[in-house]
């Protein structure tokens, strides 16, 4: 028990005496290794703790209700939750506190899953959990009610990339009353999807889909399309970004390239390079992907003109005459085709050759299996006498209507041969005297690794997706990039289209390999998130930012040099009894809350809201306290 004198001292210091501690079993994830009830017993004894409770799942509705009821009943005025990582459910518990009518920033979190039960066992796990809960209690006792930072927001968004995801995002934004500028670096709209003929699994014409969407976008008064344009400058913060966009001249070659399946636009095209400043509230990145380019000699690519990539083959098939009885590409009759999966995807260190940067595409590109089976079925249905051999590691035709492609190919008598990553097919010149120029040799896993040789007229490589090369944007906007080189979302489930840069969202294959349907769904999600952010005319940001005590600031400027966010700290003239002096001022909307400025301030004039030095000291005191 805390003696009355200690209670009086704490009341005078502003410490809370009504802290609620809520400890999660996490369905066994925590309780299998941590004695949760012992942690609760110890928490009850901690200074300032009024209530300590446990629940199987604190994030569940019943778990949240424990907190809400205790707040409403006045039992507590501060909250500590001990559960999984705060990145998963911090928003959940803040929302519960707000529903109880309390300030959502009176809460602290102890991670006793990732930091404890997943790395420790037995008494050590329980001991560490007690210490982490104690540290959170120490900090919570000094938490102050905070108000979110409110900044004006322009009801305007910029979409970078005019592929199918960018078009979809622009359309959804415009439908929700948001003005949009669509910036596309090429002279056409449609992106990679416009290069396709028909789309797996149902065979819709890609040109028709792109045309319908592009015409809708171009017809809307609140969408401005800027082709031949790229972003070369990026400043500001969520709700108030300034983008510098450079638009260049479109020459005849560009317009010739834009013919056929590409969709020419009536966007801004200039006689010479010009620059525009776009004042916008949020940015959606729909920068797309690029197809893997096989290295010279990979499966004979570059050494023999009869070895082509799947995108090249799709274009060739769109130009053939279906009325002929035999498939002809160029002047060559194609009587047999070998299709090879996983070229540039699922690469394995030590087996596949790295690129010049020592990198491998270790991920699955997700769409290749369906795309190449769709192409195989097209060949067999138009030219049934053409032999098609499918060399695969695994068939991954996921999603509605996709598995049917495999069944359809089997019914069309496509011959399947399964290879392992260690024994990939070998493509060589054919010397058996037949007309077929190439020979594919493989150990077929479907026939107990029998070596099979197939003479073919054409080899088609199912090349995977790679992240588009956008180093300037990444550097300029400080965008997080994953190990796969695609742009990285905050969380794949809880924040799947949001980025760590507030006000910047992801759409389509800028984020990961996707089908067209998935890219459009992701783009719509990004657009809805953006519209929700901007529709109120202001945005609210977490208040965890630096603040300067003007009475202590000596104006030395060390904080400015240490600041990691451009413009977040500035020196301003302040009038004092001694005259005008320079003192630091925080621009809250730009502040990262990193604490670099507080660390270098010699007079301790800077502190962080929600993470003050006194709160850190209280956490340390609880950790080192004797049991």
| Cβ atoms 150, 539 nearer than 8 A | yes
Task: Kindly report, residue by residue over 374-430, the tens digit of the pLDDT.
Answer: 999 999 999 999 999 999 999 999 888 999 999 999 999 999 999 999 999 999 999
- Count of C-beta atoms within a 10 Å radius of residue 427: 26
What are the tokens at 26?
């996490």
Region(s) of the chain under CATH 3.40.50: 4-148
CATH class, 156-288+469-539 region: alpha beta
pTM for the predicted model, two decimal places = 0.86
Give the pLDDT score at 493: 87
Helices (H), 339-434: 368-382, 403-411
- Count of C-beta atoms within a 10 Å radius of residue 318: 16
Residue that is written with structure tokens 């953006």 in the block? 530
Report how far residue 304's alpha carbon sits from residue 448's, in angstroms, rounded to the nearest whole number.
31
Higher pLDDT, 12 or 362: 362
Give the pLDDT score at 627: 65
**Degrees, nearest 5: CA angle 395-396-401:** 110
For residue 249, pLDDT over 80 is answered with: no
Report how far residue 609's alpha carbon sits from residue 149's, in angstroms, rounded to the nearest whole number.
12
Region(s) of the chain under CATH 3.50.50.60: 156-288+469-539, 292-465
- Count of C-beta atoms within a 10 Å radius of residue 74: 9
Phi then psi for 611, rounded to 5 degrees? Answer: -145, 55
User: Residue 573: pLDDT band by 50, 70, 90 thresholds?
Assistant: very high
| Cβ atoms 543, 106 nearer than 8 A | no
User: Residue 463: pLDDT band by 50, 70, 90 thresholds?
Assistant: very high
Average pLDDT, the chain: 92
Q: Of the candidates 580, 579, 578, 613, which has an alpha carbon nearest to the alpha carbon of residue 598?
A: 613
For residue 261, pLDDT over 70 is answered with: no
Mean pLDDT of 318-322: 91
Phi then psi for 66, rounded to 5 degrees? Answer: -55, -45
Give the pLDDT score at 8: 40
Q: How many residues does the chain have?
A: 627
Task: Kindly report, residue by residue over 499-530, the tens digit of the pLDDT.
Answer: 999 999 999 999 999 999 999 999 999 999 99
**Per residue, what are the HEC states of 574-592?**
EEECCEEEEEEEECCCCCC
The fold for domain 4-148 equals Rossmann fold (3.40.50)
For residue 626, pLDDT over 90 is answered with: no
User: Residue 259: pLDDT band by 50, 70, 90 thresholds?
Assistant: very low
Mean pLDDT of 570-598: 91
For residue 454, pLDDT over 60 is answered with: yes
For residue 527, the SS3 value is helix
Phi then psi for 433, rounded to 5 degrees? Answer: 90, -5
CATH hierarchy code of domain 546-608: 3.30.70.20
User: Dihedral through CA 503, CA 506, CA 510, CA 511, nearest 10?
Assistant: 120
| Cβ atoms 352, 360 nearer than 8 A | yes
Higher pLDDT, 221 or 269: 221
Report how far residue 14's alpha carbon sits from residue 4's, in angstroms, rounded to the nearest whole number.
15
Give the pLDDT score at 17: 86
Task: Kindly report, residue by residue over 119-149, the tens digit of the pLDDT.
Answer: 999 999 999 999 999 999 999 999 999 999 9
**Degrees, nearest 5: CA angle 134-136-140:** 115
CATH hierarchy code of domain 292-465: 3.50.50.60
Beta bridge partners of 230: 246
User: Residue 157: pLDDT band by 50, 70, 90 thresholds?
Assistant: very high
Give the pLDDT score at 3: 47
Report how far residue 402's alpha carbon sits from residue 404's, in angstroms, rounded to the nearest whole number.
5
For residue 318, the SS3 value is helix
Give the pLDDT score at 250: 61
Report how far residue 475's alpha carbon sits from residue 358's, in angstroms, rounded to the nearest whole number.
21
For residue 578, pLDDT over 60 is answered with: yes
Region(s) of the chain under CATH 3.30.70.20: 546-608
**Degrees, nearest 5: CA angle 353-354-359:** 155
């Amino acid at each position: 028990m805390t003696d009355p004198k200690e209670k009086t001292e704490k009341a005078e210091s502003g410490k809370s005496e009504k802290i609620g501690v809520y400890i999660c079993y996490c369905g066994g994830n925590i309780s299998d290794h941590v004695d949760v009830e012992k942690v609760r017993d110890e928490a009850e004894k901690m200074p300032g703790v009024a209530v300590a409770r446990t629940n199987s799942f604190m994030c569940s509705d019943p778990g949240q209700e424990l907190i809400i009821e205790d707040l409403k009943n006045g039992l507590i005025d501060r909250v500590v939750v001990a559960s999984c990582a705060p990145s998963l459910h911090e928003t959940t518990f803040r929302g519960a506190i707000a529903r109880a009518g309390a300030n959502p920033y009176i809460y602290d979190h102890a991670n006793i899953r990732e930091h404890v039960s997943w790395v420790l066992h037995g008494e050590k796990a329980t001991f560490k959990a007690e210490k982490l809960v104690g540290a959170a209690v120490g900090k919570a006792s000094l938490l102050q009610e905070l108000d979110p930072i409110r900044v004006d927001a322009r009801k305007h968004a910029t979409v970078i990339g005019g592929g199918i995801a960018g078009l979809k995002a622009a359309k959804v934004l415009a439908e929700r009353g948001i003005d949009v500028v669509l910036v596309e670096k090429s002279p056409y709209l449609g992106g990679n999807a416009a290069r396709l003929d028909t789309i797996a699994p149902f065979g819709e014409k890609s040109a028709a889909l792109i045309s319908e969407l592009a015409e809708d976008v171009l017809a809307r008064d609140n969408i401005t399309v800027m082709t031949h344009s790229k972003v070369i400058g990026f400043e500001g913060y969520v709700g108030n970004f300034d983008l510098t966009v450079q638009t260049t001249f479109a020459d005849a070659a560009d317009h010739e390239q834009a013919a056929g399946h590409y969709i020419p636009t009536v966007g801004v095209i200039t006689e010479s390079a010009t620059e525009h400043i776009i004042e916008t509230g949020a940015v959606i990145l729909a920068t797309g992907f690029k197809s893997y380019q096989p290295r010279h000699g990979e499966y004979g690519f570059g050494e023999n003109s009869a070895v082509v990539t799947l995108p090249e083959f799709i274009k060739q098939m769109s130009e053939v005459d279906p009325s002929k009885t035999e498939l002809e590409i160029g002047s060559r009759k194609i009587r047999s085709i070998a299709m090879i999966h996983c070229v540039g995807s699922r690469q394995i260190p030590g087996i596949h050759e790295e690129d010049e940067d020592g990198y491998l595409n270790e991920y699955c590109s997700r769409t290749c299996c369906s795309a190449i089976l769709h192409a195989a079925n097209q060949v067999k249905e138009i030219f049934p006498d053409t032999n098609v051999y499918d060399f695969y590691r695994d068939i991954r035709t996921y999603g509605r209507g996709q598995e049917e492609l495999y069944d359809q190919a089997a019914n069309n008598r496509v011959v399947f041969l399964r290879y392992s990553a260690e024994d990939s097919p070998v493509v060589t010149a054919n010397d058996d005297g037949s007309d077929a120029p190439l020979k594919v040799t493989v150990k077929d896993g479907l026939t107990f690794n029998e070596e099979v040789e197939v003479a073919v007229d054409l080899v088609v490589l199912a090349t995977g997706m790679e992240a588009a090369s956008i180093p300037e944007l990444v550097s300029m906007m400080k965008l997080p990039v994953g190990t796969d080189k695609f742009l990285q979302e905050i969380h794949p489930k809880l924040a799947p289209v949001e980025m760590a840069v507030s006000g910047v969202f992801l759409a389509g294959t800028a984020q990961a390999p996707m089908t067209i349907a998935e890219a459009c769904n992701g783009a719509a999600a990004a657009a809805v998130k953006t519209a929700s952010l901007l529709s109120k005319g202001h945005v609210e940001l977490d208040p965890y930012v630096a603040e300067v005590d003007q009475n202590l600031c000596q104006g030395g400027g060390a904080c400015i040099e240490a600041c990691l966010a451009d413009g977040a700290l500035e020196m301003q003239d302040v009038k004092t009894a001694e005259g005008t002096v320079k003192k630091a001022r925080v621009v809250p909307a730009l502040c990262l809350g990193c604490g670099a400025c507080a660390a270098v301030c010699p007079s301790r004039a800077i502190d962080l809201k929600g993470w003050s030095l006194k709160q850190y000291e209280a956490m340390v005191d609880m950790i080192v306290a004797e049991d």
